[in-house]
């Protein structure tokens, strides 16, 4: 129906801003020296990072000394969870996570079981949000760390991180709270000077139109944390040559997206509602809305009756429409743990897909998407194994 590519997988990765590409090229050409070198070329490279980092931290309302750049969101999450656990393992022995965490949080937490940590999982309530009553029961005096996503990458459910942080500290003042903000940076306001009870926060570049392979971790001053990569740089917590062009590209991307954050949010809110209305009109009883209505406007998870999500994903891909499998289904992993904990009807759960937006997406693209779904859904429902 159209040869134009329609990209609805922005929660996985985004296009890079043109200004960021140009800036990265300039940095790679003019500031290629190791920023840790003490000669003039190295100092010039370091000054580029320092200047861009200060702008980045100003947006988040934190001191530059509290931010460490990493290779991405997965490393930032690993860094936060493992390093806090190992630094404090002689004092406390359980870690609390939510049931909708990204694998880089969930699998890291379960990895720590071999070191004696008990992993406790807080489930979602009937509205698709973290069950705060259950959280209160899970956190105790032996809880060393709680880690939750600000925005669930699968469903777009938004967690009240201020409320959660207050609950945690009221029960155990010494317990650390880590927030995975990979899906919220640049989309939601994040002022860490107002979140006194948040101790660590993870970020990723390629979710906000920056380069891949770059992330960051905020570490509140006085948090007891072990080095993640042993060496001499980054205050001794993460060694390795700094990725000058990647860091500068990440910082510039945040600066650009933050200026347009409010207008992008409103535009995407309208687009998400338009898509929901069109889906309900076109498919009525054959569709189930997985995402909560008050979730992030950037992520919408829907499930079709009697459809295999990976089959629909591939059929759409053949038409140059790109979404992701909301159930993370394949022959090896099956239905995602997140969706298994939710109240999704049996004949819908295998047909979940995730549509995720950015500022470039339009209602025209939604119309083309719906038109293709009208053709594909009835046909694919005929071939599902009974």
Please tell me whether residue 287 adopts helix, strand or coil conformation: strand
Bridge-based pairing of strands 200-204 and 215-219 is antiparallel
Token digits of residue 295: 């979730």
The token duo for 373 is: 């779904």
Q: Give the whole-angstrom CA distance, residue 276 versus residue 179.
A: 29
Tell me the C-alpha distance between 337 and 34, whole Å. Answer: 43
Q: How far apart are CA 203 and CA 74, in angstroms?
A: 9
If phi over 0 gives left and psi between -120 and 50 gives alpha, with beta otherwise, what is residue 155? alpha
β-strand partners of 324: 354
70 close to 126: Cβ distance less than 8 angstroms: no
Given CA atoms 295, 296, 297, 299 in this order, what sign does their dihedral have?
negative
248 catalytic, yes or no? no
Token pair recorded at residue 171: 């029960």
Which of 152, 175, 251, 329 is flagged as catalytic?
A: 329
Q: Which candidate, 321, 323, 290, places its Cα nearest to that of 309? A: 323
The alpha-helical segments, DSSP class H, found in the chain are 18-30, 40-60, 73-88, 103-111, 132-138, 161-171, 244-259, 261-283, 309-318, 337-340, 363-381
List active site positions. 329
């Amino acid at each position: 129906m159209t040869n134009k590519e329609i990209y609805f997988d922005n929660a996985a990765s985004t296009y890079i801003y043109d200004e960021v590409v140009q800036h990265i090229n300039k940095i790679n050409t003019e500031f290629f020296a190791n920023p840790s070198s003490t000669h003039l070329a190295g100092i010039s490279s370091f000054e580029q990072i320092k200047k861009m980092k200060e702008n980045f931290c100003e947006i988040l309302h934190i001191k530059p000394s509290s931010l460490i750049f990493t290779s991405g969101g997965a490393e930032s999450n690993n860094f936060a969870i493992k390093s806090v656990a190992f630094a404090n393992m002689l004092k406390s022995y359980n870690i609390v996570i939510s049931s909708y965490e990204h694998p880089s949080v969930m699998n890291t937490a379960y990895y720590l079981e071999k070191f004696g940590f008990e992993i406790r999982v807080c489930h979602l309530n009937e509205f698709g949000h973290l069950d705060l009553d259950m959280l209160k029961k899970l956190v105790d005096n032996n809880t060393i760390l709680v880690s939750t996503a600000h925005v669930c990458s699968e469903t777009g459910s938004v967690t009240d991180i201020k409320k959660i942080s207050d609950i945690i500290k009221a029960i155990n003042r010494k317990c650390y709270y880590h927030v995975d903000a990979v899906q919220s940076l640049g989309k939601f306001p994040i002022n860490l000077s107002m979140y006194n009870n948040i101790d660590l926060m993870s970020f990723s570049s390629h979710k906000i139109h920056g380069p891949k392979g770059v992330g960051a971790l905020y570490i509140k001053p006085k948090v007891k944390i072990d080095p993640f990569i042993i060496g001499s740089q980054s205050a001794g917590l993460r060694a390795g040559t700094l990725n000058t062009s990647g860091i500068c590209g990440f910082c510039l991307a945040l600066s650009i997206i933050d200026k347009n954050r409010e207008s992008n949010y409103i535009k995407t809110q309208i687009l998400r509602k338009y898509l929901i209305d069109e889906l309900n009109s076109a498919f009525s009883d054959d569709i189930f809305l997985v995402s909560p209505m008050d979730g992030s406007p950037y992520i919408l998870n829907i499930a079709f009756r009697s459809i295999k999500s990976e089959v629909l994903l591939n059929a759409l891909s053949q038409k140059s429409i790109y979404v992701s499998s909301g159930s993370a289904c394949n022959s090896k992993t099956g239905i995602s743990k997140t969706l298994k904990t939710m109240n999704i009807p049996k004949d819908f759960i295998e047909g979940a897909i995730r549509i995720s937006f950015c500022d470039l997406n339009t209602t025209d693209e939604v119309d083309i998407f719906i038109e293709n779904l009208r053709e594909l859904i009835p046909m694919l429902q005929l071939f599902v194994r009974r």
